[in-house]
Amino acid sequence: MKARNKVKMVLILGAVALLNGCAAFGPRTIMRDRINYTTVLSDSWKDQMLLNIVKIRYGDVPVFLDVASVINSYELSGRTHLDATGRFIPSSKLEGDALFEGFYANRPTVTYSPLTGEKFAKSLMGPIQISAILSLIQSGYQANNVFRVFIQSINGLENRYSGRHSSNAGFYQLIEKMKQIQDEGAFGVRFGRVNGEEILIIIFREKNDEKIETDITEFKNMLGLDPQTSEFRVLYGSIQTNNKEIAILSRSMLQVLNDLSYYIEVPELDVSENRVNPGLKNEVVDGVPVQPLIKIFCSSKKPADAFVVVPYQNQWFWIDNKELFSKQVFSFLMFSFALVETSGKEGMPIVTVPVR
């Protein structure tokens, strides 16, 4: 009798432990799954972005595949075989004197959504909204880098594009002046409405020290703006209609990717065989070399310390983990890609983890 009671107690305690394990199984997966899926989604997003930049440089077709949803279903179950007297009842599924039967299943389901049709046209081929670009600057991103990446021209001063030098050497001086003004907090953006129409206004602080006032005056002169006005309406276009307007011609995201692709270091053999165009020549403004927007390296062997690395045509292309500026520009590009997403109904990837 005592032996039977001991067996019963062992079975009861085992069942209770199993039930408690099932109850705690769900919460324990949250931390692990959230971190794991965040890491994997981030890494795959970086790989896809770099691969498409490389493909564009080689004249290949870029393909963007969104992760629409991630659904992971777990099941953990167990049971004991016990009769009313506490005696163990053998089961054909159990071996020997096993007292428990357990079952564990992990069923991840990933849904992909290709970027095509209208969504592709709006996200990649349409010009980036000026309001989104100015919002980035208003949020603290450096104006010179934002304008170098997303702006093709401002009041006729043209940026460099696809291996060509800018047609106006004053573009770099302009964006550096803008950065200096931004750093001093003497520049701002206001969003408003006139007759039901949304408008953007760039505002310059009126009371400044002598140096900043000089920078603002030079900035206005470069753009042909009224020196006595502190507020200027921003319009989409290449040419201003009066001296109280700032005309900004923005790029599309496809143009941005195409421009960045020219910073890729490609094998000389590929250039000589006409597989790919030569890269950019080093720019020098006022005797000072212009820092490349991004450095993407290439080699036949996979690098040991890469921020992001992808294979393409028997070569490895990567951004060095020690190239901080390149990493910042690349991360900024990915953030901006999400910012200009205009699909509307679809949101970010949904991770659903039902546990039973």
pLDDT per position as a tens digit, 66-75: 766 667 665 5
More confident residue, 112 or 333: 333
**C-beta separation of 173 from 283 below 8 A:** no
> Which parts of the chain are beta strand (E)?
65-80, 100-114, 151-154, 157-158, 187-194, 197-204, 231-236, 245-250, 284-285, 288-289, 297-299, 306-312, 315-320, 350-352
Q: Could you tell me the pLDDT band of residue 343, with boundaries at 50, 70 and 90?
A: very low
* Ramachandran assignment for 86, one of left (phi > 0), alpha (psi -120 to 50 degrees), beta (any other): left
80 token code pair: 């004991």
Residue-level pLDDT at 83: 47
pTM value? 0.75
**pLDDT at residue number 301:** 94
Going by their DSSP bridges, the two strands 245-250 and 231-236 should be labelled as: parallel
Residues with Cβ within 8 Å of 192's Cβ and at least 6 positions away in sequence, in order, are 198, 199, 201
Which stretch, 48-62, 82-96, 148-162, has highest mean pLDDT?
A: 48-62
Q: How far apart are CA 6 and CA 16, in angstroms?
A: 15
Q: Kindly state the percentage of the chain with pLDDT values over 70.
A: 68
Tell me the pLDDT band of 321, cut-offs 50, 70 and 90. very high
- Distance between alpha carbon 37 and the CA centroid of its chain, in Å? 16
Instruction: Kindly provide the b/e burial profile for residues 24-43, where b requires at least 16 CB atoms within 10 angstroms of the residue's own CB.
Output: eeeeebeeebeeebeeebee
For residue 131, report the phi and psi dihedrals to the nearest 5 degrees: -60, -35
Classify strands 197-204 and 231-236 as parallel, antiparallel or unpaired. antiparallel
Joined together, the tokens standing for residue 234 give: 């921003």
Token look-up 């004197």 returns 97
